[in-house]
Amino acid sequence: MMTHFFSWILIALVCVVIAMLVFMLSGKLVYDKMNSMFVMNTNIVFMILIFGFIDGRMAMYIDIALSYSILGFVTTVILAKYIGGRR
Amino acid sequence: MSPSHVAAVIFISAGTVFLIISAFGVVIFPDFYSRLHASGIGETLGAMLMTIGMMFMTGLTLMSLKILIVFLILLIANPLGTNMIMLAAVRKKDFLDYNEQEPADQYPTDAVSGNGGNVGSDEDENDNDDKEDDEENDGREEPCIR
Q: Identify which has the larger pLDDT, B8 or B129.
A: B8
Residue B13 has a CB neighbour count (10 Å cut-off) of 16
Question: Which pLDDT belongs to residue A8?
Answer: 93
Give the total number of structural domains in chain A: 1
User: What angle, 0 to 180 degrees and rounded to 10, lies between the N-to-C axes of helices A58-84 and A30-55?
Assistant: 170
Q: Model confidence at B130, in pLDDT bands (50, 70, 90)? A: very low
Cα separation, B88 vs B124, whole angstroms? 16
Provide ipTM, 2 decimals.
0.89
- Contact call for A35 and B35, based on CB within 8 A: yes
B21-55 CB burial, b ≥16 within 10 A, e <16: ebbebbeebeebbebbbbbbbbbbbbbbbbbbbbb
Question: What are the residue boundaries of the structural domains of chain B, listed by start?
Answer: 3-97, 104-136
pLDDT digits (tens, 9 = 90+) for B10-45: 999 999 999 999 999 999 999 888 999 999 999 999
CA distance B111 to chain A (A): 33
Would you say the C-alpha torsion B85, B91, B97, B98 has a positive or negative sign?
positive
- Contact assessment for residue B82 and residue B40, using Cβ atoms and an 8 Å cutoff: yes
Mean pLDDT of all residues in A61-65: 93
On average, the pLDDT of chain B sits at 76
Burial class of residue A49 in the structure, from the number of CB atoms within 10 Å of its CB (0-12 exposed, 13-18 middle, 19+ buried): buried
Q: How far apart are CA B77 and CA A70, in angstroms?
A: 8
Distance CA B16, CA B49 (A): 9
What are the phi and psi torsion angles at B115 (to 5°)?
A: -105, 45
CA B39 to chain centre: 7
**A-chain residues near B82 (CB < 8 A):** 38
CB contacts of A42 in chain B (<8 Å) are 19, 43, 46-47, 74, 78
Host domain of residue A6: 2-84
Per DSSP, the residues of B37-91 read HHHHHHHHHHHHHHHHHHHHHH-SSHHHHHHHHHHHHHHHHHHHHHHHHHHHHHH
Q: Which of B15, B74, B84 has the CB atom closest to A80's CB atom?
A: B84
